[in-house]
Amino acid sequence: MELDPEFVEEFANLKVSTRKISPEELASFNEKAPLRERSQTKHPSYAHIPQFFYVPPPPADRLRHLLRKEAHSVFLQQQAEEQLDSEELNQLWDRLKEHVTETTAKKQQLISYDDYCKLQSIVGDKCRKYLTARLFAYLLCDSAYLGFVEVATIYNYTIRKVWLTQCRIGLSFYDEVGQGYLREFDLENYLVDLLPTLSQIRDCMQPSFQKFYVCTAVKRFFFFLDRLRTGRIRIRDILASGMINELMELRHEPKKTDTETETEESSPPNCFSMPAVLAIYENYLSLDQDHNGLLSKQELVYYGSGTLSSVFLDRVFEECHTYDGEMDYKSFLDFVLALDNRQTPQGLHYLFRMLDVHHTGYLTEQTLHYFFKGIQEQMVAFSEEAVNFEDISNEIFDMVKPKDPRKITLQDLNNCGQGETVVSILIEFHKFWAYENHNNNPQNI
Position 440 scores a pLDDT of: 47
pLDDT of 439 higher than 70: no
Alpha-carbon dihedral sign for residues 360, 362, 363, 366:
negative
pLDDT in tens, 22-34: 666 666 655 655 5
Position 261 scores a pLDDT of: 47
Position 19 scores a pLDDT of: 57
Say what percent of the chain tops pLDDT 70. 85
Structural domains in the chain, sorted by start: 5-45 (no CATH), 70-167 (no CATH), 178-255 (1.10.238.220), 286-436 (1.10.238.10)
pLDDT in tens, 105-143: 989 999 999 999 999 999 988 999 999 999 999 999 989
Determine the Cα–Cα distance for residues 303 and 153; give it in Å rounded to an integer: 47
Determine the Cα–Cα distance for residues 389 and 86; give it in Å rounded to an integer: 64
pLDDT in tens, 269-327: 899 999 999 999 999 999 999 999 999 999 999 999 899 999 999 999 999 989 999 99
- pLDDT band (50, 70, 90) for residue 176: confident
Q: Which position has the higher pLDDT, 1 or 207?
A: 207
Q: Following DSSP, what letter does each residue of 376-390 receive, concatenated? A: HHHHHHTTPPP--HH
Name 103's bridge partners: 109
pLDDT of 240 higher than 80: yes
Q: What is the mean pLDDT of the chain?
A: 86
pLDDT of 47 higher than 90: no
Alpha helix positions (H), 123-209: 125-128, 133-141, 151-172, 184-194, 199-202
